[in-house]
């Protein structure tokens, strides 16, 4: 074994010398292919590079006609070289011309060679070219020779990635590494982001490729592997809630891979061939990624990601730096590209430098996406391949409207998006100009425009958007982005911060609405439910776990000392729940006053209207509360029996329809009759056309995402509300089932020059 691998070791040493020499790029390549041919006792060695137009161009050769360099070309998938590039797998043949894919290129003069060995030039799983050796005799290339050529190909990949070959490329032609790619994902958060890639977990760049002593290097590798295994075992043995469920399954897969004989054998072999342990990890990983890239089985692709993570851990182990030591300075226009990341990690980045977020995983309701939305970051999720296709510093466009990501965009694409960004900025300027204007309709009717919030990062928006207050503060978000239950002090601190930021504007805090799709991984009490939206959630859960509610109420009462406190209960189904919650609140008030705490000057208690059963007890409800707020997201889902997260159904039923608007009107009328304020705080309030419908049926207070305040206010200021109310009354009284309210509203907007 030693003797066989002496060959590649000598070759790698020679390559290292050549890389260090001051040579012109073409001369360097020529010498490299000559050296490989000599070392491998082959008559031919050729290097083909993949261009962005999917053509493989001959860049250097020893043995073939030198005049064919930069002229001989094959398409991806064409001939043996094209087949290797397309499949990302080596090809070893003793009679090349018998292979069905063989294509004869007369300019090369290769007909006299029979045996053929070609390997892909890979980097991070992407094919950058093909390296070939050929012999006149019909010979079989041994396994170790294939390995050796793959190792050399890895060195060439680094040369390409470092831009060494750019000077050899004819004007107008680009190498595949720099190719523009457009990737399709799902739009998670609207907006357009233009900037430069920051890989959240930067691919570790292995610069030290060649080892001095393979025995010593093998020992280093073994040591790193054992500590990697130990750290995984350690995590698995901890009874830590952070490692339960999904996390546990992933760790178990890691443990299996870390002990995978094939993986370890390939690593050892690469080290014996002369690579450092780090370079060996990268090589094996790159081969594996290239092979698995072509698999369509989602399970196997997921396993590939696990292997990637594991390889990165091993590299960190070997290089001795944590992720912080490796993170680079964040540019002024950073677009974070990550496989997945925690919400708190996003907040670690300097917010003013972030322009967008691209995730390979993630769901619209995941915590990271909630936070990205809160800070107004254009986000596209489910973008498969984003991490391996990008390099730190690549230009990138994130289109949070269409769910597209353009990597290294062509100038015309970039220009089109820059124009879109300018257009949006102009619109924003118009909205900012409206900020100080009172929110009053054209015919003089005041309308309260409030914002929804849930995290401290939302607070600056209160002043920036010109909102009249916070109509819905979703307190569960603090719980969702935390790793364990937030302590009472942390809750109190946040609530105090919110009230300070509001400086007298009203804030409505909703008690925790956890359960359903808002899952806390550390919350042990929850069990699997068939229908979580209809399950043990929100007020149901907190009444069963009064300790949780009591802690929160106490934190709120303390934070609001000397000010008004507005509390709202989520998912109320029957009025008795309000009475029971009120008892808990009263008890806390008594407790705090006994200890002479500074209490709120006034306490108002309200409920969300999200569960249809409340619609048949509106009069009683209004007597039991100080105010109500309609949660149109949940109310619509329950009234129409359509899961609010099911994209297949998302356009099927329209909330701007006769029955749903009649129902919403009934609620606002019940509030008027009882003299109790009614607000609506679901997504309906945030779109100008539906906000207009709400005003037309009697709502005078609505709460929405901060970014919607500008567009909605622009509509309000132009709206002849009296006229609209008449139109809506007529439309809703119409007993013809076919009344198209949306069309009716659009026509009204057009008639009155309302643009949205
Ligand atoms: C709603 O259901 O409309 C609502 C505002 O609450 P959430 O979206 O937090 O469920
Ligand atoms: Mg709700």
Per-residue pLDDT of 220-245, as tens digits, reads 999 999 988 888 887 777 655 444 55
Q: Which two tokens stand for residue 141?
A: 């290339």
Asked if 135 and 112 count as a contact pair (C-beta separation under 8 A), the reply is no
What are the strands, taking DSSP E only, across 555-660? 564-569, 602-609, 627-630
Report the b/e string of 103-128 with b at 16+ CB within 10 A.
eebeebebeebbbbbbbbbbbbbbbb
Asked if residue 631 has its Cβ within 6 Å of ligand 1, the reply is yes
Asked if residue 681 has its Cβ within 6 Å of ligand 1, the reply is yes
Alpha helix ranges (H) inside 128-241:
143-161, 214-237
Helix (DSSP H) and strand (DSSP E) numbers for the chain: 27, 22
Asked if residue 644 has its Cβ within 6 Å of ligand 1, the reply is no
Torsion of CA 528, 531, 533, 536, to 10 degrees: -50
Nearest Cα to Cα of residue 62 among 40, 39, 41, 37: 37
Q: Determine the Cα–Cα distance for residues 416 and 106; give it in Å rounded to an integer.
A: 45
CB atoms within 10 A of CB 672: 14
Asked if residue 610 has its Cβ within 6 Å of ligand 1, the reply is yes
Q: Which two tokens stand for residue 115?
A: 């045996």
Which residue among 452, 453, 516, 570 is best mutated to probe the pocket of ligand 1, counting the most ligand atoms within 8 A of its Cβ?
570
Report CA(375)–ligand 2 centroid distance (Å): 21
Asked if residue 115 has its Cβ within 6 Å of ligand 1, the reply is no
Q: Which atom of ligand 1 is nearest to the CA of 610?
A: 2
Asked if 685 and 697 count as a contact pair (C-beta separation under 8 A), the reply is no
Which ligand has its closest atom nearest to the C-alpha of 679? 1
- Sheet containing 73-75: order of strands: 73-75, 55-62, 44-50, 126-135, 115-123, 91-93
Q: Which two tokens stand for residue 324?
A: 């912080």
Which residue among 610, 630, 660, 680 is best mutated to probe the pocket of ligand 1, counting the most ligand atoms within 8 A of its Cβ?
610
Q: Which two tokens stand for residue 220?
A: 């280093």
Compute φ and ψ for 548, nearest 5 degrees.
-65, -50
Asked if residue 476 has its Cβ within 6 Å of ligand 1, the reply is no
Q: Determine the Cα–Cα distance for residues 738 and 277; give it in Å rounded to an integer.
A: 71
DSSP states of 332-354: TTEEEEES---HHHHHTS-GGGE
**Which pLDDT score, from 0 to 100, does residue 361 have?**
78
Q: Which atom of ligand 1 is nearest to the CA of 516?
A: 10
Q: Which atom of ligand 1 is nearest to the CA of 634?
A: 2
Token pair 């958007």 in the structure block, residue = 465
Q: Which atom of ligand 1 is nearest to the CA of 683?
A: 3
Q: 299: burial class by Cβ within 10 Å (0-12, 13-18, 19+)?
A: exposed
Report CA(516)–ligand 2 centroid distance (Å): 10
Which residue among 453, 510, 608, 639 is best mutated to probe the pocket of ligand 1, counting the most ligand atoms within 8 A of its Cβ?
608
Give CA 560 to chain center in angstroms. 36
Q: Which atom of ligand 1 is nearest to the CA of 681?
A: 5
Q: Which atom of ligand 1 is nearest to the CA of 630?
A: 3
**Which pLDDT score, from 0 to 100, does residue 293 have?**
64
DSSP single-letter state for residue 427: H
CA-to-CA separations, 607 to 496, 630, 681, 704, in angstroms, rounded: 22, 9, 12, 17
Neighbours of ion ligand 2 (CB under 5 A): 610, 631, 634
Alpha helix ranges (H) inside 452-573:
460-465, 476-481, 488-502, 538-544, 546-559
Q: Which atom of ligand 1 is nearest to the CA of 472?
A: 5
Q: Determine the Cα–Cα distance for residues 658 and 663; give it in Å rounded to an integer.
A: 9
Q: Determine the Cα–Cα distance for residues 746 and 736; give it in Å rounded to an integer.
A: 19
Asked if residue 632 has its Cβ within 6 Å of ligand 1, the reply is yes
Low-confidence ranges of the chain (pLDDT < 70): 1-7, 203-205, 238-251, 292-306, 321-328, 362, 364-367, 526, 647, 735-737
Q: Which two tokens stand for residue 124?
A: 């991070």
Nearest Cα to Cα of residue 469 among 431, 512, 509, 434: 509
Asked if 386 and 360 count as a contact pair (C-beta separation under 8 A), the reply is yes
Give CA 619 to chain center in angstroms. 45
CB-hemisphere CA count at 13 Å for 614? 32
Asked if residue 308 has its Cβ within 6 Å of ligand 1, the reply is no
Report the b/e string of 597-626 with b at 16+ CB within 10 A.
eebbeebbbbbbbbbeebeeebeebbebbb
Q: Determine the Cα–Cα distance for residues 350 and 352; give it in Å rounded to an integer.
A: 6
Q: Which atom of ligand 1 is nearest to the CA of 632?
A: 3
- Sheet containing 192-199: order of strands: 181-184, 404-407, 395-399, 192-199, 334-338, 354-359, 379-381, 186-189
Measured by CA distance, the residue closest to atom 9 of ligand 1 is 474
CA-to-CA separations, 461 to 332, 372, 410, 468, 494, in angstroms, rounded: 21, 14, 35, 11, 16
**Which pLDDT score, from 0 to 100, does residue 100 have?**
92
Asked if residue 365 has its Cβ within 6 Å of ligand 1, the reply is no
Which residue among 682, 686, 690, 703 is best mutated to probe the pocket of ligand 1, counting the most ligand atoms within 8 A of its Cβ?
682
Measured by CA distance, the residue closest to atom 4 of ligand 1 is 631
Which ligand has its closest atom nearest to the C-alpha of 683? 1
Asked if 514 and 538 count as a contact pair (C-beta separation under 8 A), the reply is yes
Nearest Cα to Cα of residue 60 among 29, 39, 15: 29
Asked if residue 633 has its Cβ within 6 Å of ligand 1, the reply is yes
Alpha helix ranges (H) inside 47-119:
79-87
Q: Determine the Cα–Cα distance for residues 64 and 51; give it in Å rounded to an integer.
A: 21
Asked if 571 and 543 count as a contact pair (C-beta separation under 8 A), the reply is no
Asked if residue 682 has its Cβ within 6 Å of ligand 1, the reply is yes
Nearest Cα to Cα of residue 48 among 13, 112, 91: 91
Asked if residue 475 has its Cβ within 6 Å of ligand 1, the reply is no
Which element (helix H / strand E) includes 184? strand 181-184
pTM for the full model?
0.70
Report CA(184)–ligand 1 centroid distance (Å): 29
Q: Determine the Cα–Cα distance for residues 270 and 264; give it in Å rounded to an integer.
A: 10
CB-hemisphere CA count at 13 Å for 596? 0
Measured by CA distance, the residue closest to atom 6 of ligand 1 is 631
CB atoms within 10 A of CB 526: 16
């Amino acid at each position: 074994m030693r003797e066989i691998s002496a060959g590649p070791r000598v070759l790698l040493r020679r390559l290292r010398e050549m890389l260090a020499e001051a040579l012109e790029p073409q001369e360097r390549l020529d010498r490299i292919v000559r050296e490989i041919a000599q070392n491998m006792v082959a008559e031919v060695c050729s290097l083909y590079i993949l261009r962005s137009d999917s053509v493989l161009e001959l860049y250097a050769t020893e043995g073939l006609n030198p005049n064919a360099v930069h002229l001989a070309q094959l398409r991806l998938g064409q001939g043996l070289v094209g087949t290797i590039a397309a499949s990302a797998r080596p090809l070893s043949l003793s009679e090349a011309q018998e292979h069905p894919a063989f294509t004869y290129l007369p300019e090369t003069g290769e007909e006299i060679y029979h045996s053929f060995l070609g390997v892909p030039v890979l980097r991070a799983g992407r094919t950058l070219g093909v390296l070939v050796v050929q012999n006149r005799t019909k010979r079989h290339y041994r396994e170790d020779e294939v390995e050796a050529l793959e190792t050399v190909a890895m060195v060439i990949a680094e040369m390409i990635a470092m831009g060494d070959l750019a000077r050899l490329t004819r004007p107008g032609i680009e190498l595949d590494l720099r190719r523009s790619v457009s990737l399709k994902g799902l739009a998670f958060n609207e907006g357009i982001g233009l900037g430069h890639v920051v890989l959240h977990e930067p691919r570790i760049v292995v610069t030290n490729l060649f080892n001095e002593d393979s025995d010593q290097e093998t020992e280093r590798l073994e040591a790193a592997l054992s500590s990697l295994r130990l750290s995984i075992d350690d995590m698995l043995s901890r009874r830590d809630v952070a490692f339960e469920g999904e996390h546990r399954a992933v760790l178990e897969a890691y443990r299996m891979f870390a002990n995978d004989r094939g993986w370890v054998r390939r690593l050892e072999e690469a080290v014996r061939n002369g690579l450092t342990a780090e370079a060996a990890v990268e090589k094996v990983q790159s081969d594996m990624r290239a092979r698995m890239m072509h698999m369509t089985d989602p399970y196997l692709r997921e396993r590939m990601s696990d292997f990637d993570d594991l390889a990165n851990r091993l590299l960190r182990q070997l290089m001795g730096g944590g992720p912080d030591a490796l993170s680079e300075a964040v540019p002024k226009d950073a677009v974070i590209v990550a496989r997945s990341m925690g919400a708190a990690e996003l907040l670690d980045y300097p917010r003013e430098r972030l322009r967008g977020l691209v995730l390979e995983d993630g769901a619209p309701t995941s915590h990271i996406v909630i936070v990205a939305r809160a800070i107004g970051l254009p986000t596209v999720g489910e973008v498969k391949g984003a991490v391996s296709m990008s390099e730190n510093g690549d230009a990138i466009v994130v289109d949070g409207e269409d769910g597209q990501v353009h990597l290294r965009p062509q100038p015309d694409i970039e220009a089109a998006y820059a124009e879109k960004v300018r257009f949006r900025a102009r619109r924003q300027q118009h909205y900012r100009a409206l900020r100080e204007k009172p929110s009053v309709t054209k015919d003089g009717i005041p309308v309260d425009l409030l914002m929804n919030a849930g995290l401290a990062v939302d607070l600056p928006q209160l002043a920036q958007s010109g909102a009249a207050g916070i109509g819905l503060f979703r307190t569960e978000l603090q719980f969702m982005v935390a790793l364990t239950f937030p302590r009472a002090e942390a809750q109190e601190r946040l609530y105090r911060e919110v009230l300070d930021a509001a400086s007298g504007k009203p804030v409505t805090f909703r008690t925790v609405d956890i359960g359903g799709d808002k899952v806390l991984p550390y919350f042990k009490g929850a069990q699997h439910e068939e229908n979580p939206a209809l399950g043990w959630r929100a007020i149901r859960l907190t009444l069963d776990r009064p300790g949780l509610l009591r802690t929160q109420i106490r934190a709120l009462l303390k934070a609001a000392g000397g000010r008004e406190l507005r509390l709202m209960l989520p998912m109320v189904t029957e009025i008795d729940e309000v009475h029971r919650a009120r008892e808990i609140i009263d008890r806390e008030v008594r407790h705090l006053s006994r200890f002479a705490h500074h209490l709120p000057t006034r306490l108002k208690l309200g409920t969300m209207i999200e569960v249809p059963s409340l619609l048949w007890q509106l009069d009683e409800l209004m007597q039991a509360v100080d105010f109500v707020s309609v949660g149109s997201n949940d109310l619509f889902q329950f009234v129409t029996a359509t899961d609010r997260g099911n994209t297949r159904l998302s356009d099927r039923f329209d909330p701007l329809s006769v029955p749903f608007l009649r129902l919403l009107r009934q609620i606002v009328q019940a509030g008027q009759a009882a003299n109790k304020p009614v607000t609506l705080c679901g997504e309906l309030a945030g779109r100008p056309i539906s906000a207009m419908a709400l005003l037309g049926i009697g709502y005078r207070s609505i709460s929405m995402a901060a970014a919607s305040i500008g567009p909605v206010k622009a509509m309000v200021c132009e709206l002849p509300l009296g006229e609209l109310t008449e139109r809506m009354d007529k439309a809703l009284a119409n007993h013809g089932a076919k009344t198209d309210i949306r069309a009716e509203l659009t026509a009204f907007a057009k008639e009155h020059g309302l643009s949205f």
